[in-house]
Amino acid sequence: MVTEVHSVDTEMVTEVYSVDTEMVTEVHSVDTEVVTEVHSVDTEMVTEVYSVDTEMVTEVHSVDTVIAMYTPQMCTGWIQRWLCIRHRGAQRGYRDGHRCVQCGYGDSYVYATDVYSVDTEMAVYTP
C-alpha cells in the first residue's frame, strides 16, 4: 500500500502521473475502453472530449456527416431560425426552397447554428 506514487506498474491506483494499468481514477493520457473526461483519446464511448476518433460521443466540436436534414414535422415553430420571414422578422434574411413550420409560407431561411462542421451518416434535428 502506497499513498502517492510517480511511476508504477499495477492493477489499481488512485492518483498517478505515469502508469501502465487497467483501472485508474485520474489520468492525463490513456488508451482504454471507457473514460469520463479526456482531451485526446481513441476509444468506443466517451462522455466529453475535445479530439476523438470514436463511434458515440455526446459533445463534439468537429464532426463529419453526409446528411444534415431538417424535417418540419420535428419542429412546431419554437425554434426562431426555422420560421419564415414574417414570423421571424427581417433581421436574418431568407432564401428559397424552405417553408415555415407554422404557416407553410415559403422562402424561410434555414441554417443551423448548433453545428459547426459535421460529417456522419445522418444528423437529424429532433427537439
Residue 10: CB atoms within 10 Å: 14
3-state secondary structure labels for all residues of 55-92: CECCECCCCECCCCCCCHHHCCCCCHHHCCHHHHCCCC
Query: How many Cα atoms are found within 13 Å in the side-chain-facing hemisphere of 82?
Result: 19
Task: Report pLDDT digits (tens) over 21-67.
Answer: 454 444 444 444 444 444 444 444 444 444 444 444 444 444 333 33
**Cα–Cα distance measured from residue 114 to residue 31, given in angstroms and rounded to the nearest whole number:** 30
86: its cell numbers: 414574417
Task: Report pLDDT digits (tens) over 69-126.
Answer: 444 443 333 333 444 445 444 434 333 344 555 555 544 333 433 333 334 444 454 4
Does 107 or 7 have the greater pLDDT score? Answer: 7
Per-residue model confidence (pLDDT) at position 117? 39
Per-residue model confidence (pLDDT) at position 4? 58
